[in-house]
């Protein structure tokens, strides 16, 4: 038996299509949301225009899910804090913990349930910020580091995953966990799938493979530490 978990960062518009696939294959997921960056209305994804100077992913401007659509889009899944404005864990202590808690409290108000998970923006943290997170009542802080033994050798405030969802050795890592038993945990950003049908199909094939395996049990990220 192998337990499988996944999470997705930032709260971007491609999450809507991603969620339709997750539901198709009865897969669980946690969405790490930056509520202070999310507009009231859901954005329309587009490609970078001529002369524009801004951050994009390979020229793709995915945009964010609107605050008014949070419950409709994410209501069937777990949500976690990714910071109000994506403030990294190396920021001044008071700024960091306020950012983490502001997003958590907003999500708890919207979804009317506890929101005790956290994903470190850019994977940046310090021992001090990890302690602040724990003292504030969070149950885990997900890094962008990999481990072969999810939830065993990590501390909850520095929770490592198995791999990124587009890792070249995704299937090798899954098979290794399956053979020895344990947890296979992957993460990513749905904007990394762009509007490329081949990339979406590749990911759907992974979901199909995982969900059709009788030895797979989908779990939420928070179940790893609980």
Q: Would you call 34 exposed, middle or buried from its count of C-beta atoms within 10 A (0-12, 13-18, 19+)?
A: buried
Domain spanning 2-225 has what CATH number? 3.20.20.370
Whole-structure pTM value:
0.97
pLDDT (mean) for 106-112: 98
93-111 vs 127-135: helix crossing angle, rounded to 10: 40
Copy the structure tokens of residue 74: 């994410």
Beta-strand pair 163-164/30-33: unpaired
- Listed by start position, the domains of the chain span 2-225
What percentage of residues in the chain have a pLDDT greater than 70? 100
Q: Which residue has the higher pLDDT, 1 or 69?
A: 69
Beta-carbon count within 10 A of 189 CB: 20
197-212 vs 170-180: helix crossing angle, rounded to 10: 10
pLDDT tier at 200, thresholds 50, 70, 90 = very high
- Per-residue pLDDT, 139: 97
Average pLDDT of the chain to the nearest whole number: 97
pLDDT by residue (tens digit) across 94-105?
A: 999 999 999 999
- Please answer whether residues 11 and 83 qualify as being in contact, where contact means their C-beta atoms are separated by less than 8 angstroms: no
- CA 90 to CA 72: how far, in whole Å? 33
Helix or strand or coil: residue 63? coil
Question: Is 153 a residue whose pLDDT tops 80?
Answer: no
- CA 36 to CA 206: how far, in whole Å? 32
pLDDT tier at 152, thresholds 50, 70, 90 = confident
pLDDT (mean) for 166-191: 97
What are the residues facing 184 on neighbouring strands? 4
Beta-carbon count within 10 A of 215 CB: 10
- Per-residue pLDDT, 169: 98
pLDDT by residue (tens digit) across 17-40?
A: 999 999 999 999 999 999 999 999
């Amino acid at each position: 038996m192998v337990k499988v978990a996944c999470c997705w960062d930032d709260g971007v518009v491609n999450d809507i299509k991603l969620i339709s696939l997750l539901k198709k294959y009865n897969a669980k997921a946690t969405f790490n949301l930056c509520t202070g960056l999310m507009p009231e209305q859901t954005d329309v994804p587009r490609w970078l225009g001529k002369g524009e100077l801004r951050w994009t992913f390979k020229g793709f401007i995915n945009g964010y899910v609107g605050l008014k659509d949070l419950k409709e889009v994410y209501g069937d899944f777990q949500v976690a804090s990714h910071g109000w404005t994506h403030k990294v864990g190396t920021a001044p202590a008071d700024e960091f913990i306020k950012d983490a808690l502001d997003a958590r409290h907003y999500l708890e108000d919207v979804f009317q349930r506890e929101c005790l998970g956290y994903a470190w923006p850019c994977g940046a943290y310090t021992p001090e910020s990890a302690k602040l997170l724990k003292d504030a009542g969070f149950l885990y802080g997900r890094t962008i580091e990999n481990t072969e033994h999810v939830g065993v050798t990590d501390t909850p405030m520095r929770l490592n995953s198995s791999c990124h969802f587009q890792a070249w050795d995704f299937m090798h890592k899954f098979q290794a966990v399956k053979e020895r038993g344990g947890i296979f945990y992957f993460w990513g950003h749905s904007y990394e799938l762009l509007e490329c049908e081949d990339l979406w199909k590749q990911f759907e094939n992974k979901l199909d493979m995982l969900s059709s395996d009788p030895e797979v049990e989908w779990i939420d990220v928070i179940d790893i530490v609980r």
